[in-house]
């Protein structure tokens, strides 16, 4: 019962603030609306007891990505001013495309026969860690290592970029 | 051990007997919310009073001593003053974000308080990722600081906010690596309650010996930085920035920032106590069975508060001992010293746990 009430509250928050995030004409406010959407998504993960995923959602999206977006927005010009509203033609086209996209998504969601999962989704942090390092069947060691190499490459690239600017 | 689930269970049963399920859920939500808000406000009052008395003690003066016995009601009077003050804002500021910013800090602090175990089965939200949840939630506070600084439309607030977020984002790494990861390796769980229960044979600070002590020192330093206290208080350096990111806030909105800062200090101390110092478990000395028996009679929440107060006292001691650092010194300390130390310490801890060299 409590979970249902919270689900409807969070769902309303997600819908309302997603809409506000794309229609707001002030960049900083749009960022904050996006933050609310991401926080509410974390709340949904908490409802289904997938706490680790919710923690990741909070620390990566709410704490990391949004802070990064706020920094990026601060570097742009005239953040306090309202952005000019787009021309009517653009608005009509964008509206049509959005309706088409929403229609496709909703029809797929309604048409799909969802089954309740019987698999253990691994709420335990230890299980997630073991799965990440498992090289047997159903293991995730390959994607884990690929992502590690990507991370290493981007870290080295960041150092190189920062260093070159420093010398000039 | 006093089992608090008996009390909470009794309240739950009583509520279920007089109202339907939905009513019980909503009443319990409201009750827990009110209890935590009251605790939050009370904590703010006590900590501000303690800070001022301790400041007086370190500077050979009395501190507040006129309102009530030992000046105890000074902070109550200050709160009334703050509540009655006029709210002044800046004209060109984005008023929506300006008014919203304090709540980010307050909510982040309140959510962190929910997972702290105050006693046996006395925790509002017993989640299996407790420590990780705290780290995740506290990262929301940074956005509040950034928004407060930006939406004030004041260059000093902006500089304060950028400094503050730079410090918090960089020190979060060492805080997570030193405290969470190294101590979680020892305890083998992220659940706050289970971390406390795993220390029944002795506090992790002593049983983990060298790597645990290094982790504790790094944790205390980074914890001080996370709460923006001296020697890392250059975010609100009065002589150069006015008051930093909350310079343009007045009255109750300023009080929100002030309260969040003090409650964050409590939260950092509570994590230190839970992870390193045995949480709400009583002090036990090996082979002193009579002494241990007497200690067991003191309830857990009292032990928790005593230990937390001692850590808070150490943090306040720092404030009146160290001079303020410059921003480049602060960031050098983190990136060139604390982060490498905690990374090496993590490997050392993994080795110690693997070899079973734990008492």
B120, B205 in Cβ contact below 8 A? no
Nearest CB among B25, B169, B190 relative to A1 is that of B25
List CB contacts (< 8 A) between B150 and chain A: 28, 70, 74, 79
Q: Do the domain assignments include residue B204?
A: yes
Give the pLDDT band of residue A166 (cuts 50, 70, 90): low
Q: Do the domain assignments include residue B138?
A: yes
Residue located via tokens 């160290």: B322
List CB contacts (< 8 A) between B132 and chain A: 52, 55, 59, 125
List CB contacts (< 8 A) between B21 and chain A: 1
d(CA B91, nearest CA chain A) in Å: 13
Instruction: Give the pair of three-digit tokens for residue B247.
Output: 């310079």
What is the rounded CA–CA span in Å between residue B175 and residue B346? 12
Running DSSP on this structure, what letter comes out for residue B234? G
List CB contacts (< 8 A) between A127 and chain B: none
| B interface residues, A as partner, C-beta within 8 Å | 21-22, 25, 29, 92, 94, 96-97, 100, 127-129, 132-133, 135-137, 139-140, 142-143, 146-147, 150-151, 153, 165, 169, 190
Domain coverage including residue B97:
89-355
Average pLDDT of chain A to the nearest whole number? 86
At A96 the pLDDT is 94
Cβ of A5 within 8 Å of Cβ of B153? The answer is: no
In chain A, whose CA is at the least distance from the CA of B92?
A: A80
Q: Do the domain assignments include residue B141?
A: yes
Each residue's pLDDT tens digit, A71-107: 888 888 777 677 777 888 988 999 999 999 999 999 9
B198, B131 in Cβ contact below 8 A? no
Q: Which residues contact B144 (CB under 8 A, 6 or more apart)?
A: B101, B102, B103, B104, B105, B108
What is the rounded CA–CA span in Å between residue B213 and residue B341? 12
List CB contacts (< 8 A) between A58 and chain B: 133, 136-137, 139-140
Each residue's pLDDT tens digit, A116-134: 776 666 567 888 888 888 8
What is the rounded CA–CA span in Å between residue B258 and residue B148? 13
Considering the domain A1-84 in this protein, what is its CATH number? 1.20.120.1200
Each residue's pLDDT tens digit, B4-48: 888 888 888 888 888 888 888 888 889 999 999 999 989 989 999
What is the rounded CA–CA span in Å between residue A36 and residue B340? 35
| Secondary structure class of B248 (helix, strand, coil) | coil
Residues of chain B with pLDDT under 50: none
The DSSP code sequence of B186-225 is HH----HHHHHHTTTTS-HHHHTHHHHHHHHHHHHHHHHH
- Residue boundaries of the structural domains of chain A: 1-84, 124-168
At A125 the pLDDT is 80
Cβ of A80 within 8 Å of Cβ of B147? The answer is: no
At B34 the pLDDT is 94
Each residue's pLDDT tens digit, A38-83: 999 999 988 888 888 888 898 888 888 888 888 888 888 777 677 7
Taking the CB of residue A40, how many other CB atoms lie within 10 A of it? Answer: 19
Complex ipTM above 0.90?
A: no
- pLDDT at residue A168 tops 70: no
Cβ of A59 within 8 Å of Cβ of B127? The answer is: no
What is the rounded CA–CA span in Å between residue B219 and residue B230? 15
Residue A128 CA: distances (Å) to CA of A123, A145, B276: 8, 15, 26
List CB contacts (< 8 A) between B133 and chain A: 51, 55, 58
Cβ of A1 within 8 Å of Cβ of B151? The answer is: no
List CB contacts (< 8 A) between A2 and chain B: 25, 29
Nearest CB among A1, A58, A67 relative to B137 is that of A58
What is the rounded CA–CA span in Å between residue B41 and residue B39? 6
Nearest CB among A1, A32, A79 relative to B21 is that of A1
Cβ of A39 within 8 Å of Cβ of B140? The answer is: yes
Nearest to B357 by CA among B211, B220, B255, B243: B211
Nearest CB among A35, A74, A124 relative to B143 is that of A35
How many domains are contained in chain B?
A: 1
| A interface residues, B as partner, C-beta within 8 Å | 1-2, 5, 26, 28-29, 32, 35, 39, 51-52, 55-56, 58-59, 62-64, 66-67, 70-71, 74, 79-80, 123-125
Q: Do the domain assignments include residue B196?
A: yes
What is the rounded CA–CA span in Å between residue B336 and residue B271? 25
């Amino acid at each position: 019962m409590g979970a249902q009430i919270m689900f409807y509250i969070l769902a309303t928050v997600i819908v309302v603030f997603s809409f506000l995030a794309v229609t707001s004409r002030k960049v900083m406010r749009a960022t904050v609306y996006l933050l609310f959407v991401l926080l509410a998504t974390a709340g949904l993960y908490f409802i289904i007891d997938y706490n680790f995923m919710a923690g990741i959602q909070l620390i990566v999206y709410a704490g990391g990505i949004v802070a990064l977006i706020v920094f990026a927005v601060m570097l742009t010009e005239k953040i306090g001013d309202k952005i000019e509203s787009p021309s009517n033609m653009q608005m009509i086209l964008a509206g049509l495309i959005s309706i088409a996209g929403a229609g496709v998504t909703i029809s797929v969601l309604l048409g799909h026969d969802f089954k309740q999962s019987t698999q253990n989704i691994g709420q335990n942090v230890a299980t997630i860690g073991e799965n990440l390092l498992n090289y047997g069947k159903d293991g995730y060691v390959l994607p884990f290592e690929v992502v590690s190499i990507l991370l290493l490459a981007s870290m080295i690239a960041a150092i190189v970029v920062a260093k070159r600017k420093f010398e000039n | 051990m006093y089992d608090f689930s008996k009390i909470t269970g009794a309240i739950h049963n009583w509520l279920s007997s007089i109202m339907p399920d939905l009513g019980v859920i909503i009443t319990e939500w409201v009750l827990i919310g009110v209890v935590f808000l009251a605790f939050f406000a009370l904590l703010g009052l006590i900590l501000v009073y303690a800070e001022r008395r301790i400041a007086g003690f370190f500077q050979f003066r009395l501190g507040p001593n006129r309102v009530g016995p030992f000046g105890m009601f000074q902070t109550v009077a200050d709160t009334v003053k703050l509540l009655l003050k006029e709210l002044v804002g800046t004209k060109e500021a984005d008023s929506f974000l300006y008014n919203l910013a304090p709540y980010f800090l307050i909510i982040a602090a309140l959510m962190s308080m929910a997972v702290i175990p105050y006693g046996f089965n006395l925790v509002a939200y017993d989640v299996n990722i407790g420590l990780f949840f705290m780290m995740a939630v506290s990262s929301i506070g940074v956005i509040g600081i950034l928004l407060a600084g930006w939406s004030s439309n004041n260059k000093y607030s902006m500089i304060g906010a950028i400094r503050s977020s730079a410090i918090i984002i960089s020190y979060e790494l060492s805080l997570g690596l030193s405290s969470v990861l190294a101590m979680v390796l020892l305890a083998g769980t992220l659940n706050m309650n289970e971390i406390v229960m795993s220390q029944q044979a002795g506090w992790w600070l002593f049983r983990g010996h060298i790597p645990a002590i290094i982790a504790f020192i790094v944790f205390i330093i980074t914890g001080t930085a996370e709460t923006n206290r001296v020697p890392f208080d250059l975010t609100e350096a009065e002589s150069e920035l006015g008051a930093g990111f909350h310079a343009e806030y007045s009255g109750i909105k300023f009080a929100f920032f002030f309260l969040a800062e003090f409650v964050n200090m409590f939260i950092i101390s509570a994590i230190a106590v839970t992870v390193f110092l045995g949480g709400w478990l009583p002090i036990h000395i090996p082979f002193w069975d009579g002494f241990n028996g007497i200690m067991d009679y003191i309830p857990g929440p009292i032990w928790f508060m005593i230990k937390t107060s001692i850590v808070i006292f150490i943090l306040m001691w720092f404030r009146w001992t160290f001079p303020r650092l410059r921003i480049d010194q602060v960031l050098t300390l983190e990136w060139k010293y604390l982060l490498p130390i905690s990374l090496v310490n993590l490997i050392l801890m993994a080795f110690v746990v693997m070899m079973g060299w734990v008492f």
